[in-house]
Structures are given as structure tokens and as C-alpha cells.
Amino acid sequence: MPVQWTISKPHRLVIAVARDELRLADVEQYLDGVAIADVLPYRKIFDMTHAAVMLTDADMMVLGARIRAYLEVSKLGPLAIVAVTQRAYEQASLFQVLAEGDRPVKIFRELHQAREWLDGFDTDSR
């Protein structure tokens, strides 16, 4: 499975790690899992450090539209994206623009920086 995630309900945190080739269906499956688990408002890390990003600009538009649809029905928690390659960083930047909404999204080159940033958000907010 290219995207594996864990949910910490006590910390209101979702950590997703992408591996191998990351495609649209993989991200959609992750999003479905997060929605079904009812953790959209949680803080999230999406780590693409060990993934080859195979998402096209059209794929990113689909994901952006999906996130905007989620925003219509739920509050979304802050999202930290870890992107170490230039391609992953560019795709994450495009996602950040296309999925613009009422929640903080920031891109990092290192996981520890992403976690530090997320730790600055209140975990008790709903």
C-alpha cells in the first residue's frame, strides 16, 4: 500500500507516509480512510519523503476540488506536507493553491520541522 497512516485520537493527529509510486487513487484512498474515521479536523502530516510522486496537474485539480468539497461539510485540521524532492515540492505547492480553504497548510523539507509546526496548534479544538 503506497500510503499508510496512523491515527492518534489522544493527540488528534494523523500521520500518513507515502512510499513507492504515489498516484491519485492512493491519495483518494487515504482521504476516504480519514473521512470514514471522522478525523478530518485532526492535525495531519503527509510525508512524501520516500515516494515518487506520479500525480499530474489534472490529478492535483481533482484533489483540490475534493478538499474544497470537504470544507463545505467539515472543518479540516492543519496539514503539514513533507516533500524533499523538487517534483514533490512543486506538486505539494500546487495542491496548497488548489485546495485553498479555511485551514493552515505548510510544506516542509524535513519531518521534524513539520511536527514542530503542527505541535503549535491546539489539539483540543474541534
The pLDDT, as a whole number, for residue 101 is 85
6-15 confidence digits (pLDDT tens): 999 999 999 9
Is the pTM higher than 0.85? The answer reads: yes
The alpha carbon of 99 is separated from its chain's Cα centroid by a whole number of angstroms, namely 10
* Distance, CA of 32 to CA of 41 (rounded, Å): 14
23-62 confidence digits (pLDDT tens): 999 999 999 999 999 999 999 999 999 999 999 999 999 9
